[in-house]
Amino acid sequence: MVRLFLTFAILCGLYNEAYGKSSIDIDMKLKALNKPALKTIKSEDGDIIDCVDIYKQHAFDHPALRNHKIQMKPSVVFGTTKTTIPNNGTSKPITSQIWSKSGTCPKGTVPVRRVSREDIMRASSPSHFGRKTPRRYDFLDNALKHKGNFNITAERIRQPRPKDRSEAILIAIGYNYLGAQSDINVWNPPGVQFNDYSSSQIWLLAGLSDKFETIEAGWVVNPHVFGDSRTRLFTYWTKDSYATTGCTNLLCSGFVQTTTRFALGAAVEPVSTPSSEQYHITVSMYLDPNTLNWWLTCGDNVIGYWPGNLFTYLKHSATAVQWGGEVYSTNVRKKPHTKTTMGSGRWPSYLYGEACFHTNVRIKDYSLQIKYPPYLSEYSDEYDCYSTKLNRETYRAEPVFFFGGPGQNRFCP
| pLDDT tens, residue order, the chain (413 aa) | 545 544 444 444 444 444 455 889 999 999 999 999 999 999 999 999 999 999 999 999 999 999 999 999 999 888 765 554 444 568 999 999 999 999 999 999 999 999 999 999 999 999 999 999 999 998 888 766 655 555 666 556 566 778 999 999 999 997 799 999 999 999 999 999 999 999 999 999 999 999 999 999 999 999 999 999 999 999 999 999 999 999 999 999 999 999 999 999 999 999 999 999 999 999 999 999 999 999 999 999 999 999 999 999 999 999 999 999 999 999 999 999 999 999 999 999 999 999 999 999 999 998 888 999 988 999 999 999 999 999 998 888 899 999 999 999 999 99
Alpha carbon 291 to its chain's center = 23
Predicted local confidence at residue 1, as pLDDT: 56
Predicted local confidence at residue 161, as pLDDT: 76
For 63, residues 6+ apart whose C-beta sits below 8 A from its C-beta are none
For residue 11, count other CB atoms closer than 10 A to its CB: 10
Residue 347 burial by CB count (10 A; 0-12/13-18/19+): exposed, middle or buried?
buried
Residue 6 burial by CB count (10 A; 0-12/13-18/19+): exposed, middle or buried?
exposed
Predicted local confidence at residue 100, as pLDDT: 97
Pairing relationship of beta strands 92-93 and 279-287 according to DSSP bridges: parallel
φ, ψ dihedrals at 86, nearest 5°: -60, 140
Report the run of H or E that residue 235 belongs to, with start and end: strand 232-238
- Beta-strand (E) ranges in 155-223? 165-177, 179-185, 197-208, 211-221
Predicted local confidence at residue 155, as pLDDT: 54
